[in-house]
Chains A and B, each alone.
Chain A
Amino acid sequence: VNASAAPNVDFLPEQPKVLLVDDDEVNLLLTSVALRERGFTITEATSGETAIRILADWLPDVVVLDALMPGLDGFQTCRELRVLPGFESLPVLMLTGLDDDASITRACEAGATDFFVKSTQWSLLAGRLRYLLRASRTRVELERSKSRLARAQDLARMGSFDWKRGGGGPVFSAEGLRVFGLGPSDPLDFRSLLRMLPDEQRGAFVELLHDAMANSTILATDLSAKLIDGRQRIVHIEAEPEFNEHGTLVGYTGIVQDVTDRRMAEDRIRHLANFDTLTGLPNRRQLIWRAERALEQGRRLNHQVALLLIDLDRFKVINDTLGHGAGDELLMEVSRRLRSCVRHSDQVLESSLESMGSRSHRSLEAVGRLGGDEFVALLPEVVDERDAERVASRILDLMREPIIVMGQECFVTASVGIALFPRDGTNVVDLLRNSDVAMYSVKSAGRNAASLYHPMLAGQGREKIELESALHKAIERHELVLHYQPKVDVRAARMVGVEALMRWRRNGVLVPPGDFIPLAEETGLITPLSEWAIREAARQARVWQDNFGFSESIAVNLPSRLFERTDLVEYIHNAVTTYGVPHHAIELEITETGLMKDLQNVIPSLHRLNEIGVEISIDDFGTGYSSLAYLTTLPISELKIDRGFIRDLGMTPQSSAVVTAIIALARSLGLRVVAEGVENLRQMEVLHRLGCGIMQGFLFSRPQPAEDIEKWLQQTELPKVAPWIGDAGDAELPEARRPTRARAPRAPSGG
């Protein structure tokens, strides 16, 4: 063997350091020369004592000891160096005589790694030394890897064990014992392991072991063990069968691991994934899962399942006025109440129900939170719809009790929609949608009630949902437009203002206001819609002011709830300021019904608006039940006679009586009066005769886009060519011809 030529010793030190100990100087000299020749670095010592001295502060790669020496002989030297720190596994080669069996045995006992019969065949010695070094290196690596494994197992709270068939109980590594809270020398036999398990798990585990052994299969299971120190841990056991050369199972080898933390984290994750964090109720995902299982069972056992969709009625108001904290508090209380209405089960259910017996679907029963103020009660088995209605009425009853939120009593009602499997749907999606439809029907019928789903409700409901979702996006998509209808002073034959009417251009089609304004009011979308209308009207006033000196008002319809907003005045102020038009460029119309409904809340706003110059007009006047006493004190400027009276004008005497009364009332209160919905000359003449000079209606102009209003002015008003011009105002024509514009009128555009 030649060191430099042997590729398999690459990993050895280039020149292994050898301590050579021999009292025979000739042999010492020859051996060291021979080994140097073969690539070793030699340090010589002529006695055991010298060797020990040298080793006190130097660590060779290998020690070669002559066995027989005066003083400390090789055996003693070996013993002494073995107890030096760091020399436990240093390779030591003992040189003995050829026929010296006793020395060979003693060498072993003294802790020598190997022996070698003295010879002058140096290559053999060098080869033996290299082998020793390799073996030692391998051993060091093995030790290192063993300690790394132990460390890794320790970190992973894992240990190993072996079990030999017929060889007693399992034998655990030190790390394995630690998993069970035991020290490295504590005994752990099978019996004491079983004692750690809860009674109900013990039998099952023994059975599992028998099965695994009978079938020679892998063993893998989790045990919940109560350790001797009292800690409760979950221990994962996983083991593989071992076979002998005949293929007979001889035992198992495997690991044990403390997976308590992991299991707890998994449980937590599972809980987060399945339960609503605010209320602790099952969330949408868990509810749907439960509902699906309930339907499976219902299908199998042929019974009905009920889904109750519960939506709180005034939740948004509470959230908006008292804040989200209050809203959350309220939702938690509502959850507590709802929970008491059913046999609520909090169990996280994800596994199959088959193992739980035929009544297992009972454990699916729960109230869950779909999100926001929407809850669902799942009744996994109902005899008929009355069962579900009973639960619904219990829910409504419980809601009637006031809820204390932030020290304030709140009254919250709920609207409940009920859908039954299989009658109202055979899958969860259909049932949810149909319970939603039923719930919506309760809402539109005045809330605070429960309703069963009925197919008649469906068409309506779905369309509405789609409409609502589209309306949400209408503003940002610029789908809303204002159309304008002139208010005309008939005698003067001139436009004295316009009313702005909202239109929704959805997918290229104009949606009539009647189809989306009620929905907008119901959903609260009316607020952003109205705000947009105010800004848009202010903008248009500016455009017209620039184009033809428009100085009248654009009337915007506002729902009464907008007047309740304290920032309405500020909002209008900002809008007109932005476009540089005066405050009176915006006039607000509120319906008589709306005004009277929220009178107390609306009055402060009306005063402030009036103060900054924004005039208020009462729309649809005559249809509500106005308190005339209030009317005298309200800061309003205009009454608009409801189109219903105008339509019948000249046909029934009652209608002209009402119109006459309104005109008289307005005149005595010093209010402007406007007749709406004037469609023909007869109506115009009657109104004129009764003393109403300002009118609005198809007779003059339909509501039209802003640009068309300009054209209309150019083609109708300025040239005074229209069927209605001249009829009513014949007597005072000169006044009607009076120029009304500050700016020079444009030339008529022919026609």
Chain B
Amino acid sequence: MLNLRASRRRFAAVGNGVSSPPSGARAVSALTLPSAGSVLDVEALQRLAELDPTGANRLLERVFQAFEASALRLLPQMHEAFRAANHPGVRHVVHTLKSSSASIGAVQLSHLCAEIESMIRLETYDGLADRIGRMDRETNAVLQALKQIRGVEK
């Protein structure tokens, strides 16, 4: 079971050697995540956790699952659309991932999505392939981080 208390512990566990108290409110804010920089934003996660203060709804688990399922479904769609130069198809994927990644605190990913969405809207396709590659990598990093969090729990 994944609840807030448990989550905090897990964030601490995957912490990159950063010392942090094992529990308490400040533990989360002090937490940093694996991967370069911050793949997942602590504050965003904290707001998520506040939606289910007792953990009774297993909210974080369900959100992570939903994101994983959504990302795994959408990424191939995006690659295919990109290959077919179907820009609206690409745009739809990045638009969806933009907000869902923001929801789980994947700030970097969300920014990348927004960037791509904006490029397509403005029809400036220079460097789009590069951005898509970065986005692909960042998504995988986020999925990796989520897997880590969930893996700890198992």
Contact = CB atoms under 8 A, between A and B. Distances in A.
A23 interface: yes
Given A33-B59, A68-B92, A120-B44, A26 B103 contact: yes
Interface in B58-104: 59, 62-63, 66-67, 69-70, 92, 95-96, 98-100, 102-104
Contacts of A37: 51
A118 B101 CA distance: 13
Contacts of A120: 44, 47, 102-103
A23 B95 CA distance: 11
A26 B44 contact: no
B40 to A, nearest CB: 13
A27 B52 contact: no
Given A33-B51, A33-B52, A33-B59, A26 B100 contact: yes
A705 interface: no
A26 B47 contact: no
A24 B59 contact: no
A23 B66 CA distance: 12
B118 interface: yes
A118 B99 contact: yes
Interface string B100-123: 101110000000001001100000
A33 B57 contact: yes
A97 B114 CA distance: 10
A89 to B, nearest CB: 29
A621 B14 CA distance: 153
B62 A29 contact: yes
B63 A24 contact: no
A25 B100 contact: yes
B132 interface: no
A34 interface: yes
Given A33-B51, A33-B52, A37-B51, A70 B92 contact: yes
Contacts of B99: 24, 26-27, 97, 118
Interface in A7-26: 23-26
A30 interface: yes
B69 A25 contact: yes
A24 B51 contact: no
Interface in A35-93: 37, 68, 70
Contacts of A23: 96
A99 interface: yes
Interface in B39-62: 44, 47-48, 51-52, 57, 59, 62
Interface string B111-154: 00010011000000000000000000000000000000000000
A23 B77 CA distance: 14
Q: Is the interface of B mostly helix, strand, loop or mixed?
A: helix
Contacts of A99: 114, 118
A34 B70 contact: no
A25 B44 CA distance: 17
B48 A30 contact: yes
Contacts of A29: 62-63, 66
Contacts of B57: 33
B95 A97 contact: yes
B92 A26 contact: no
Nearest to B97: A24
B4 to A, nearest CB: 14
Q: Which among A27, A34, A97, A99 has the highest number of chain B CB atoms within 10 Å?
A: A27
A37 B98 CA distance: 24
A94 to B, nearest CB: 14
A25 B114 CA distance: 18
Interface in A356-407: none
A29 B52 CA distance: 12
A25 B70 contact: yes
B118 A26 contact: no
Interface in A310-341: none
A37 B47 CA distance: 13
Nearest to B69: A25
A27 B100 contact: yes
Contacts of A34: 51
Given A25-B66, A37-B51, A120-B47, A30 B103 contact: yes
Interface string A103-135: 000000000000000101010000000000000
Contacts of B100: 24-27
Contacts of B98: 97
Interface in B13-60: 44, 47-48, 51-52, 57, 59
A97 B47 CA distance: 20
Contact of B70 (A26, A30, A97): A26
* Max count, chain B CB within 10 A of own CB: residue among A25, A26, A33: A26
Given A24-B70, A25-B70, A120-B103, A30 B96 contact: no
Given A25-B70, A70-B92, A99-B118, A30 B63 contact: yes
B17 to A, nearest CB: 30
A27 to B, nearest CB: 5
A27 B63 CA distance: 9
Contact of A24 (B44, B47, B96): B96
A68 B100 CA distance: 13
Contacts of A26: 63, 66-67, 70, 99-100, 103-104
A68 B104 CA distance: 20
Contacts of A33: 51-52, 57, 59
Contacts of A68: 92, 95-96
B3 to A, nearest CB: 14
A24 B97 CA distance: 8
Contacts of B104: 26
Contacts of B70: 24-26
A27 B117 CA distance: 18
A68 B48 CA distance: 23
A23 B99 CA distance: 11
Contacts of B96: 23-24, 68
A115 to B, nearest CB: 15
A30 B84 CA distance: 33
Contacts of A27: 99-100, 103
B117 to A, nearest CB: 8
Nearest to B52: A33
Nearest to B89: A70
Contacts of A30: 48, 51, 63, 103
Nearest to A28: B66
A459 B96 CA distance: 115
Contacts of B95: 68, 97
A535 B100 CA distance: 118
A29 B98 CA distance: 15
Interface centre among B59, B62, B69, B96, by most chain A C-beta atoms within 10 angstroms, is B96
Interface in A297-316: none
Interface string A515-541: 000000000000000000000000000
A37 B51 CA distance: 7
A34 B92 CA distance: 24
B42 to A, nearest CB: 14
Contacts of B102: 120
A48 to B, nearest CB: 13
A33 B52 CA distance: 8
Contacts of B103: 26-27, 30, 120
A34 B53 CA distance: 12
A29 B69 CA distance: 13
Closest 10 CB pairs of A and B: A26-B100, A25-B66, A24-B96, A26-B66, A26-B67, A24-B100, A33-B51, A27-B99, A30-B103, A25-B70
6 contacts: A24-B70, A25-B69, A30-B48, A33-B52, A37-B51, A122-B51
Given A25-B70, A27-B103, 18 more contacts: A23-B96, A24-B96, A25-B66, A26-B99, A27-B99, A29-B62, A33-B52, A33-B57, A33-B59, A37-B51, A68-B96, A70-B92, A97-B95, A97-B98, A99-B114, A99-B118, A120-B103, A122-B51
